Each structure stands twice: as C-alpha cells, then as structure tokens.
Structure 1
Amino acid sequence: MTGKHVETLSIRGFAPRPHLGAAAHRRALGEHLRQCRIGANLTGKYAARRIGTSAPTVSRLEKGERTEHAGRHATALLGLCGITDRRELSHALSIAAQGERPDVWEPFGGSVARWVQPLLALEPAAQRIMSYEPQLVPGWLQTPEYAQLVMRAGFPDASQKEIEDRAAARVSRLKMFLRAQDPPALVAVMDEDVLRRPAGSPGVMYRQIEHLIALLKGDLRHRISLHIAPLSMGMTGAVGHPIVHLRFADALLSDFVYLEQSESARCVEGEGEAERYQSRIFSLSCMSHPADQTLTQLEDRLDELAVTLS
C-alpha cells in the first residue's frame, strides 16, 4: 500500500545542473527513489518485480550507481509509489538524463586511479570541501610540475606521458573553484612540514609557493581558506593520512568523506562517521595558524628559498 506521506516528497527541489557532475544527479535521484519506496512501504524486491527489473538493479539505482534504462525504471518506480504528477516524472527524467552523462574524471580515462574516481565525481557538486593533507600541498592547489613529482613517486613505473596526464587530471580540478555558478568553497589544512619537504629541485617548491600566494591574492582569495598546521601541534594534530570531507547544499546528497591510503581509499557517507571526520578537520584548522596569517608564512618561506636559489 502506498504510504500517505509519499505525496509530500518531491524531486523538483533538485534542479538539473550539468556543472555539478553526473554522479550528483544519479545520487540525488537515487535517494529520492529510496525515500519514495520506503514511504510507500515497498521492499526493493517487490518493487523490482512490479517494474520488470531485478532487485540488484533497484539497489544500484537507489545508490546512485550507473544502470541501464535508469530514466524508465525511475519513473516506473515513482508511479508504483503513487506519484503520477507529470511534472514530477518529467523532472525525474531530466535528472536521470544528466546522470547518464560521463563523470567528470572520465575524459582523463586511465589517468585517474580507480580509488580516487568517487571523489572526483562528486566534488564538483560540493558546497564546501574540507581537507587535511599531512605530506603534500593539497591536490587542487598543486602546480603541474609539483603534481608530476607526486605522481612519479606514486607511480614509478609509469611513462612520462602517463605522469603528465595524471598530473593534468589533478590540477584541472582548480577550475571548479573559478566557475561562475555556485562554486565550492575550500577549507584546507596542510602540515607546516610540507613547505620544507624537498620536492625535486628547490625551484619546484619555490614556484609552488609562488602559485599558492597568487591564488590567495587573486580571484580565489574568498573561495579558499588555507591553514598551515605548525609542528608544535605534535601528536595532538597527528592524523597520518589525507582526509577530504564534502558537504552539499542539496538535502538529497549526504556528506561524503574520502580517506586516502598509499594505493587505495575508503569512502564514508552519511551522518555519524562522516561528521566525526568533519569535526576532526575543523579541530585541526582551529589548532593551526589562522588563515589570514598564511600569506605571511608563505612569503617568509619563499624568501628562505630565494636565498638557496641565489
């Protein structure tokens, strides 16, 4: 039997926006379908049988994973839940169509490691990105030559072409902070030691710091908040691995956390654990130097490197 409160659920609050990426559209539609099915007191197995597909397909659809005939199955499921408003069904089809587009990382193909693909697919839709990086300059803010050194360290057997493609995929992410329509904000924390860790020749780090200074003085100064965690934090601030937390403006998209290891990553979603990681990054930012002091710290380090280069 169709639940009464299904009538109050609407997908029209989520507007199709190509710049958010296909994954965000799939996930928003999937969460809406899940809420409608649960509100209608229907099991996934029963719903799948009634709309002529399999229970795993319904499960993948609700999780925002790619499925064949997503639009057709979505509208059939909504109809089964008692939603017959043409505007609702048409809107769902529009979102499904956006979800069928290539994910933002796909143009780079094999240049993007499979474990980072979920992060790259979702971050364009974030309202706010929070990150902690203990060893490197945050990926969004790296120069191409710095990124190539990082990629070479991670993929020592890759060809130079592969290294350049991987680095290009990483640094291209900066563009989303520059877009005109609802760009995300970035709150990034990196360890002070990052600025002193050798990265190729001294000139590479010199140019990397110049790049950070230009970003913080330029058009992105109101979109990026960069904190430097002092070594004096000691073990209090030790985390040991990068953390990225995504917060979305749309209620149908739950928080997403990306925890990267050397050759893998773990993704955490929803409330609870995701909130704990958000609190962890927030605490690290509070223990770090204030963001308004970062420019001075970067300029001081640039002066030190200039002596080395002279």
Structure 2
Amino acid sequence: MANAPQAIWEFFGTELKRRREDAALTQVQLGELVFVSGGYIGQFEQAIRKPQLDVAQRIDQTLRSDGFFERLCRKLINDRRYADYFAEVVELERLATRICEFAPSAVPGLLQTPEYARAVILAANPFVTDEYVEDIVTARVERAHILKDVTRPEYWVILHENVLRIPVGGPAAMARQLDHIAELMRERSVWATVTPYTAGAHASINGSLKLMDFEDAPPIAYTETSFSGTLMDDPAVVKRAERAYDLLRVAALSPEASLALIESAAEDFRRCATST
C-alpha cells in the first residue's frame, strides 16, 4: 500500500498529458490558461508534484473534462492522514533541497520514532480507534523516508531542551527516541543542535518553525501551533523568519555539545526506566 499514492499521482499525470495533447496544447500553453508555469504542469505529468485541488479545477474548466481531475483530487489524492493545513507541507518537504526546523516542545515529525508518534497522537486524540492511530503513525514514518533517500534534503533542526526533558510515551520510549536522534546525528543524516535552558531569553517562536529552500522556487516558511499551520511565501515575511532562525541558531549549543546533551538525557531516561 505504501506505493498507492504515487500510483495515483502517475495516473493523474498520464491522464493530464493525454487530455492536454488531445486539446493540442503544450505544457506552457496549458499552464498559462490555468495560471501556473509550464514546468508546474510538467511536474504534474511526471508525478513529481502532488496535484492541487484549485489547479485541478481550472484544468477541468480549460480541458472541459467534466470535473474529472477535481474528483480524482478529492477522492483519491488528498490524504486524510494529514490535517488540511499540513498536507501541502508534506509535498514540499519532498521537493525541498534544505529544511531548517525549530522545535520548542516536541520532537519534529521527521525525527519521531513510532512509539513517540503514537504517544503524541493518543495524547491529542484519546478516543480514536487503534486503526486511526496506526494510519497516522505509518504516515509519519513514511514522511521520514526523505532523510534516507539518495536525494535527501539537508535537514537542520534546533531542539529546545524542553524536547529532551518531556517524557513522551514514558522513560523507556523517550530513551529510544533520543537514541534515534543521536544515531541520525552520528550518521550525518541530520544536523541537530539544542537550545539549552541556560540560554535564557532567545528568539523564541510561538509554535514550531520550518524553513524550506528549493532548487527552482523561492523559499517558504511554515509555522504551526496545536490546531493550525500557516505557509508563508511573502519574501519579506520569509526573510523575518530566516532572521529569527539565525538568532535561534546563535543561542544553541554546538553540534558536539548538543549530541552530548541528547545522549545524557537518553541515559537519564534509561536509568529511570530500569529503576521503576
């Protein structure tokens, strides 16, 4: 089932190309008619970019496809395992060349172990079914595969010390979560640093912050709180977010000291788990 979404993207792309060519339109011409670039249409046809509902609706109007692409988007492509405000972020992570993230209180999704993710989901949704929980956990684990891909983005993350101290899932699960982060750091799959309590006041953000750079598109900033998230592409706003991240980076420990603190916290949790 893991390849099902990609297969649907490919079906969308194949149908789009066939119907576009039947209408004697180039990618550039169709793009102009639906207010996107020709390259954007090409990414749809090659199943590189997830089809967007608003673009699908305009394609239907232009190609007179009787709502075909809109229905495909609504029923098959839009993944309900992600909140509406986060679905596009998942796609952008796949396209990014660099991701910079600040986590003030919880381990970011790209770094979460299944145990940790399960505990976070249940804490926010105590009455859901086991099937629902496992669907979300699976989606989160699948997202993290981008850190193992050959074409993986550079992933920079700043963790506030809160992240290391809150025992999500219990001491044993927390020790394994911190071990996982430490292992990724040693493998050089991620570049992680920690803002310690001793840093005092810093450029804290009310919620998490994610910055994404792309090879052929402007950078994007994303902020998230408990129940909402906001994608921002206004250059002035993104610049302010980048400055805030730079200030957070200055307040963080070195990678070496950060790794030592993460390993120390993991050992503390391990001792706590064995003593209970």
Q: Tell me the TM-score normalised to structure 1 length.
A: 0.66
Matched, 1:291 2:255: yes
Whether the 8 Å contact between 2:100 and 2:156 is mirrored in structure 1 is: yes
Using the TM superposition, give the Cα deviation of residue 77 of structure 1 relative to its aligned residue in structure 2, in angstroms: 5.6
Identity across the alignment (%): 24
Instruction: Pick the aligned partner of 1:273 from 237, 241, 256.
Output: 237
Post-superposition offset of 1:195: 1.1
Q: Is the 8 A contact 2:44 2:50 kept in 1?
A: no
Give 1:56's aligned residue.
Answer: none
Q: Quick one: distance in 2 between partners of 1:202 and 1:93?
A: 49
Note if contact 1:103-1:121 (Cα within 8 Å) is conserved in structure 2: no
- 2:108 maps to what in 1? 138
Amino acid at match of 2:163: V
1:181-200 matches, within 5 Å, as 182-200=151-169
Contact 1:225–1:291 (CA<8 Å) still a contact in 2? yes
Shift of 1:93: 6.0
The Cα offsets for residues 53-101 of structure 1, whole Å up to 9 and x where unpaired, read as xxxxxxxxxxxxx9xx678484336799xxxxxxx98x77643413686
Offset of residue 177 of structure 1: 1.8
1:213-256 deviation digits (Å, cap 9, x = unpaired): 221222xx1x4111111112333242220011101121xx1211
CA deviation after TM superposition for structure 1 residue 156, in Å: 2.8
The aligned counterpart of 1:282 is 246
Aligned to 2:45: 97
Q: Secondary structure at the match of 1:238?
A: coil
Matched-pair contact (CA < 8 Å) for 1:190–1:228: yes
Letter in 2 for 1:130: C
Q: What's the counterpart of residue 173 of structure 1?
A: 143
In structure 2, distance between residues paired with 1:141 and 1:107: 25
Shift, 1:260, TM fit: 0.8
RMSD value, Cα: 3.1
Distance 1:101 1:244 in 2: 20
Distance 1:79 1:207 in 2: 51
When residues 95 and 206 of structure 1 are mapped into structure 2, their CA distance, relative to the original with a 3 A threshold, is: closer
- What are the residue-to-residue correspondences of 1:237-276 with 2, within 5 Å? 237-250=203-216, 253-276=217-240
Find the structure with the greater CA-based Rg. Answer: 1
Alignment of 1:78-157 (within 5 A): 94-98=42-46, 102=50, 109-157=79-127
After TM superposition, the structure 1 = structure 2 runs for residues 197-236 of structure 1, keeping only pairs within 5 Å, are 197-218=166-187, 221=188, 223-236=189-202
Gaps of 5+ in 1: 1-18, 27-65, 81-87
The alpha-carbon deviation at position 204 of structure 1 amounts to 1.0
Residue 135 of structure 1 deviates from its aligned partner by 0.8
- Cα shift at 1:275: 1.5
Q: Which runs of 5+ in 2 are unaligned?
A: 1-5, 53-75
TM-score by length of 2: 0.74
Which letter does structure 2 place at the counterpart of 1:97?
A: E
The aligned length equals 231
